[in-house]
Amino acid sequence: MPDQRTHALILFAHGARDARWGQTLEKLREAVRLKRPESRVGLAFLEFQEPTLVAALDAAAATGCTRIDIAPVFWAAGGHVTNDVPPLLDRFRSSHPGIQLTLLPVLSELPGMTDFIASALCALSAPRAAD
């Protein structure tokens, strides 16, 4: 039976020269896949690693996805997310007008993320009785 998934979620990160850097992103992809089996979940990198964002978008389109969400796995919306990504998305949109693209918020803008990290850090660094 052909794969009928028409939604893709692409986890998009910077990339690094050391391929081991991407292992944590692969773990995140697997966790998302378990929670979203109805979606194609892919990875993409800005530089140093493959696939590029454009290649990941093209692959999702080639498999029949008509809606693609891009999740920037960046802490803040700095230069890469605000300057480098929009032209890439515009070029993709012009060559794939029937596909809906959505750039999701960066990590620091996800609901509850700041409180989650603050709580985790406080739990890890709780004062000791002698402090």
Question: Which of the pair, 80 or 130, is modelled with greater confidence?
Answer: 80
- Give 24-65 pLDDT, tens digit per residue: 999 999 999 999 999 999 999 999 999 999 999 999 999 999
Can you list the alpha helix ranges (DSSP code H) found in 17-112?
23-35, 53-62, 79, 85-95
Rounded distance between C-alpha atoms, residue 69 and residue 29, angstroms: 14
128 pLDDT exceeds 80? no
Rounded distance between C-alpha atoms, residue 127 and residue 84, angstroms: 42
Q: For the chain, which domains are there?
A: 7-124 (3.40.50.1400)
Secondary structure of residue 73 in the 3-state scheme? coil
1 pLDDT exceeds 50? no
- Give 50-108 pLDDT, tens digit per residue: 999 999 999 999 999 999 999 999 999 988 899 999 999 999 999 999 999 999 999 99
